[in-house]
Amino acid sequence: MTDQTTGDQPLVRYEVSGGAARVTLDSQHNRNAISTALVHQLHDALERAAADDAARVVVLGHAGGTFCAGADLSEASAGQESPEEQAAGRTRIFLGLLRAIISHPKPVIAAVDGHVRAGGMGLVAACDFAVAGPTSTFALTEVRLGLAAAMISAPLAARVNDRDLARALLTGEKFDSAHARRIGLLSEAVDDVAAAVDELVAAFRPCSPQGLAENKALLAAPMLSELDARGDALAGVTARLFTTPEVAEGMTAFLERRPPAWAADAE
């Protein structure tokens, strides 16, 4: 097993077993939040998997009880740029990661045995397959911070039924893996994630690498076209919202582990 590193801290682990490149998010100090460092390391791991002849498929898993908690909000207050410039830059980086998963030449399986929030839902939707266990939970929490699920709305819309996506986006409600399967976010809701993933990986062993790449490209084309057509506009939504008082209150409340002012007023 090897680590993908940016600087001194490994946040993504890489190994090959059973014909699969096992890419593991291991940034447990922030619940595998989407930080700049994690994105860079995940890019490196995906590129390595694309060139690895020993891997027919990629399995994107996680260490700890959370698959991905969404954006690393602690980065929003760092740096010298304006909040709008920072948000636009982070959004462009995340767009590149979504494209890298969607356009990867090998099938990518999300192996979820924990919680998924906000931008983490975009990672799951970008994968070709998604398997989750009974203790997994999911939520699009952006609406509760004053934000919009802008960039991830494209892959989510490609997977999730319209009415179900509207409820998830507009309420921020938490739901379980059985519901995630019913609405189309997951390929399978299972009791044993590892066994289900291994069974799925085995299904690709008779497949031609060229055949996999060409057929995956056909399936990915509409989602990539949507991201390319709307990416700048969606990034602009996120950048604009980060300058608003409601987002400042929402993020402060989140970091202070308290309800935001509007939620407190409603109680």
Residue 231 · residue 238 · CB < 8 Å: no
Q: Look at residue 9 in the predicted model and tell me its pLDDT.
A: 82
Q: Look at residue 86 in the predicted model and tell me its pLDDT.
A: 74
Extract the residue ranges of the chain whose pLDDT is less than 50: 6-7, 266-267
Q: Look at residue 81 in the predicted model and tell me its pLDDT.
A: 66
Q: Look at residue 79 in the predicted model and tell me its pLDDT.
A: 56
Q: How far apart are CA 256 and CA 165, in angstroms?
A: 29
Burial 153-173 (b: 16+ CB within 10 A, else e): bbbbebbbeeebbeebbeebe
Q: What is the DSSP string of 69-108?
A: -SB-GGGGG-SSS-HHHHHHHHHHHHHHHHHHHHT-SS-E
* Predicted structure pTM score: 0.92
Query: What angle (nearest 5°) sits at the alpha carbon of residue 76, between those of residues 27 and 37?
Result: 35
Write the burial class of residue 16 (CB in 10 Å: 0-12 exposed, 13-18 middle, 19+ buried).
middle
Q: Which domains does the chain have, with CATH numbers?
A: 2-193 (3.90.226.10)
Residue 33 · residue 27 · CB < 8 Å: yes
- Give the closest residue to 90 by CA, choosing from 224, 241, 222: 241
Residue 128 · residue 107 · CB < 8 Å: yes
Residue 70 · residue 39 · CB < 8 Å: no
